[in-house]
Amino acid sequence: MAELDTSSKDGKGGKVRSKKASTRVDLTAMVDLAFLLITFFMLTTTLNKPQAMDLAMPDKDQKQTDQLAVAASRTMTILLGSGDKIEWYIGEPGKSAPTVEGFGKTGIRKTLLENSQKVKQTTGKDMFVIIKPSDKSVYKNMVDILDEMNIANIQSYGIVDISQPEIDLLKKDNIYQ
């Protein structure tokens, strides 16, 4: 940085003075560098921490008797297929036509919100969602659908193994490849 020389230069006195070298060092560049590094380390340490999504799976050894029977009318089943596609239906399989949909704001999120409102109005209880990932779906789909549950504020949901009739449904709609 520019530094103004304010020391008088006129040597009119005639006396030869030994000029004392200044002990001051320009620290500007050093401070600049230090703050740059601080910013770097601050950002990397706080942003590095991964987010964790908690997931509770149903207990496998639980006896069938103490499981709560959920009315079919307020159960929504979501099947995860290949190619980021999902298929959903309400109630028992085969009784209502399944719908094929994609992820995102206009896809499953809208459906989830609409369905949960509808179920709330007709039965007065919250909707129960069953998620069935097929073997052709990827891990991202599973995380995405769990995230949608979070966004749509659905409290009760579970991940269950897929069954053969449901795989056939997916096959029929060409999202099991």
Partner 1 sequence: MPRVKIKRKSTVTDMTAMCDVAFLLLTFFILTAKPKVPDPVEIDVPGSTVTIKQPEENIATLVVGKGKVFFDITGAKIRTTTLEQMGQKYSVTFNETEKARYASMQGVGVPMSQMKQYLDLESDQRENFKQPGIPADSVSNELFNWIREARIATKAINGAELRLSIKGDSKEEYPTIKKVIDILQKQKVNKFSLITSLRSAKK
Binding site for partner 1 (CB under 8 A): 2-4, 6, 24, 26-28, 30-31, 34-35, 37-38, 41-42, 44-45, 48-61, 80, 104-105, 133-144, 146-147, 150-151, 161
Alpha carbon distances (Å) from 4 to 1, 8, 26, 88: 10, 12, 12, 76
The least distance separating partner 1 from the CB of residue 142, rounded to whole angstroms, comes to 7
Taking the least distance from each CB to partner 1, the nearer of 59 and 66 is: 59
Structure tokens at 100: 């094929």
Q: With beta carbons less than 8 A apart as the criterion, state whether 127 and 167 touch.
A: no
The three-class DSSP label of residue 159 is strand
The least distance separating partner 1 from the CB of residue 95, rounded to whole angstroms, comes to 26
Structure tokens at 164: 């053969």
Q: With beta carbons less than 8 A apart as the criterion, state whether 157 and 129 touch.
A: yes
The least distance separating partner 1 from the CB of residue 141, rounded to whole angstroms, comes to 8
What distance in Å separates the CA atoms of residue 135 and residue 124, rounded to the nearest whole number?
35
Comparing CA positions, the residue from 141, 85, 148, 80 lying closest to residue 116 is: 148
Taking the least distance from each CB to partner 1, the nearer of 35 and 174 is: 35
Taking the least distance from each CB to partner 1, the nearer of 34 and 71 is: 34
Taking the least distance from each CB to partner 1, the nearer of 77 and 137 is: 137
What distance in Å separates the CA atoms of residue 84 and residue 177, rounded to the nearest whole number?
11
Taking the least distance from each CB to partner 1, the nearer of 14 and 139 is: 139
The least distance separating partner 1 from the CB of residue 136, rounded to whole angstroms, comes to 7
The least distance separating partner 1 from the CB of residue 73, rounded to whole angstroms, comes to 28
